[in-house]
Amino acid sequence: MIVTLRTERIRTLDEVRAFLEGSEPVDFTLNDRDSAYVFVRRSLERLRYHGLGRPDKGLVKAYLAKVTGLSRAQLTRLIAQHKRTGHIRDRRRKPPANAFQRRYTPRDVALLAEVDAAYGRLSGPATKEILRRQYEVHGDGRFERLARISNGHIYNLRARRDYRLGALSLDKTRPVQVSIGVRRRPDPQGRPGFVRVDTVHQGDLNGEKGLYALNVVDQVTQFEHIGAAVRITEHFLLPVLEDLLSAFPFRVDGFHADNGSEYINHRVARMLEKLHISEFTKSRPRRSNDNALVESKNGAIVRGWLGRAHIPAQCAPAVNGFLRDHLCPFLNFHRPCLFPSEVEGPRGRIKKRYRQQDVATPYEKLKSLDGAEDFLRPGVTFEELDRVAAATSGLQAAKTVREARRDLFRSLDPVASVA
């Protein structure tokens, strides 16, 4: 290292500042790291670095970086070492003086990688036999050392970095492309018949599977139908799902599910085609609002009425009777729901507001739509639906559902009963 008198006579911060502002080239040559460390230590002591304020410390650091060529991170570590010990030493790990001589060279590792790439990375004994035959039978001199390798050391070489960066090429897992359903949020444009579906599992107990509740909710009117299935396999799920979709008083034109395999499959797609449901959509990744309506109904309705306790799968017929005959008519004709209104804020942002005048039952919401009769299924009339809605008062319907729920859980296994 060559340090000229110009750098040696710098002893004040003003001289450091003048040096940094100068346009002349730096006449300092770094020949070895130890010499640079000596220069840094002397400069810190000469300028009394540890007693300076933060701006002045930054000035000294810039000076040391310009003279020595060391990075700011390196200088920070050296200064911390000097403050702690009063010295600056090279603490990098050095190889031992009498290191073990490696038997297998990087070329041997590359040959092993070549063999593994060709054979598909077989077990240690099989690979050892391949290496031995390559040298002793086929006379390939490149495998002289590898021909005597042990099984265990094959795995040691495979763990080396130069092996992983060698001839082996790794193929990333290819995602499965499922062409069933369109990955987007449905857009009903104020029309009923675009339903959301989700599954709620009633838990397991002592290795016994609980039943599955299928929840189907219309986005615009919040008409809701719930069914119970023993399993979510094709044999049990499809009949229940078809009955739920057929129970809506209006035509169902859209079907939206999350990415669960119980719904995103060819059997459900064929069933929807049979029911003339033309739009099949599925949720987008990291877009929790795509299926938020039915998720909220899972907590408020399914968990609220069926609870969180285990319900045995064999109880599905009894639960289905309660849901079909009592709970679903109550939900659709007597239980009020909140419907959002979109309001434009002062900055043009659309916000949702839930106003008192927008509270209505799903049936009232259906009747309030423009051209509501055009959405009804063939053979379904509002006169018939009005009779169902007027058959009992809302309070009496709520009491009837509570009593039916109490009778249901009394008839179930005591383990699954709720208070």
Q: Which DSSP state fits 194?
A: E
Which two tokens mark 64?
């040391």
Q: What residues does 312 pair with on adjacent strands?
A: 210
Strand positions, DSSP E, 233-327: 254-257, 279-282
Give the span between the Cα atoms of 140 and 134, in whole angstroms.
6
SS3 label, residue 11? coil
Q: Retrieve residue 212's tokens.
A: 């599955």
Find the helix packing angle between 151-158 and 106-119, rounded to 10°.
100
Q: What is the pLDDT of residue 284?
A: 87
CA distance 370 to 158: 71
Read off the tokens for 70. Answer: 């060391």
Q: What pLDDT was estimated at residue 181?
A: 80
Query: Is the torsion defined by CA of 307, 308, 309, 312 positive or negative?
Result: positive
Q: How far apart are CA 123 and CA 158, in angstroms?
A: 12
Alpha-carbon dihedral sign for residues 26, 31, 33, 38: negative
CB atoms within 10 A of CB 320: 19
This prediction's pTM: 0.58
- Is residue 372 within 8 A of residue 366, CB to CB? The reply is yes
Pick from 224, 286, 279, 280: which is nearest to 257 by CA? 280
Sign of the torsion formed by the C-alpha atoms of 287, 292, 296 and 297 = negative
Whose CA is closest to 361, among 393, 316, 403?
393
**Which tokens is 180 given?**
């069933």
pLDDT at site 9: 64
Q: How far apart are CA 294 and CA 299, in angstroms?
A: 9
Residue among 258, 252, 180, 244 at smallest CA distance from 215: 244
> Which tokens is 4 given?
């000229």
For the chain, the 3-state helix, strand and coil shares in percent, each to the nearest 5, are 50, 10, 35
Task: For tokens 């009778």, name the residue.
Answer: 407
Quickly count: other Cβ atoms within 10 Å of residue 22's Cβ.
10
Tokens of 120: 């598909």
- The 3-state DSSP class for residue 383 equals helix
Per-residue pLDDT of the chain (419 residues; tens, 9 = 90+): 444 445 566 778 888 888 777 644 454 555 567 788 888 888 888 888 898 888 889 888 888 888 888 888 889 999 999 988 888 887 665 656 666 677 888 889 889 988 888 888 888 898 999 999 899 988 999 999 999 999 889 999 988 877 876 654 555 566 656 578 888 888 898 899 999 999 999 988 888 889 999 999 999 999 999 999 999 988 899 999 999 999 999 999 999 998 888 998 999 999 999 999 989 999 988 888 888 899 999 999 999 999 999 999 999 999 999 999 999 999 999 999 999 888 888 888 888 888 899 899 999 999 999 999 999 999 999 999 999 999 999 899 999 999 999 999 998 855 444 43
